[in-house]
Amino acid sequence: MKKDIKRNKRPGFTLVELLIVIIIIGILAGGMMMVAGAGTDKANATKIVSDLRNLKSAALMYYADKTAWPTKIGDLSAYIDRTISGDYEYNPASGDLVGYKGALLTTGVIEKLVDMATASGLCTKDGAIPYVKASQTDGVWMKVR
């Protein structure tokens, strides 16, 4: 006669199964972190381009009111609805350029700006169009006229 041998099996997960699930979750989380970083760079690049367009519009409105181009960035404060930070510049000597030279210019943001350069009218500090990858200290610029 055979005896039924009962095995001591408890319901639940084994250690190997739990480790595999943790590894899969880690891989998925790493992928999401890379995607989130690229999205942040694109958002910062879009913010910079939007701000430069606003400053360009303010310079054109200044010219329409005074029939002279502004000489410094502070002249534009009456034509925009917020305070201009110290990261933005107006350069009348180089053909009336508005530019950004701030902390948002990381390597990832500069790469996104290069991708957006032709469609947005971005240029380098010397006015060369389109904007090509420059150093962070050169900034990104847009021609006013």
φ, ψ for residue 76, nearest 5 deg: -90, -5
- Paired with 90 in beta bridges are 98
Task: Report how far residue 122's alpha carbon sits from residue 100's, in angstroms, rounded to the nearest whole number.
Answer: 11
| Digit-coded pLDDT (tens) for 2-34 | 666 666 667 788 889 999 999 999 999 988 888
Chain center to CA of 15: 43
Distance, in Å, from the CA atom of 70 to the CA atom of 141, rounded to the nearest integer, reads 16
pTM (two decimals): 0.72
Please state the domain extents for the chain: 15-143
Q: Which residue has the higher pLDDT, 85 or 50?
A: 50
pLDDT category, 136, cuts 50, 70, 90? low
97 beta partners = 91, 143
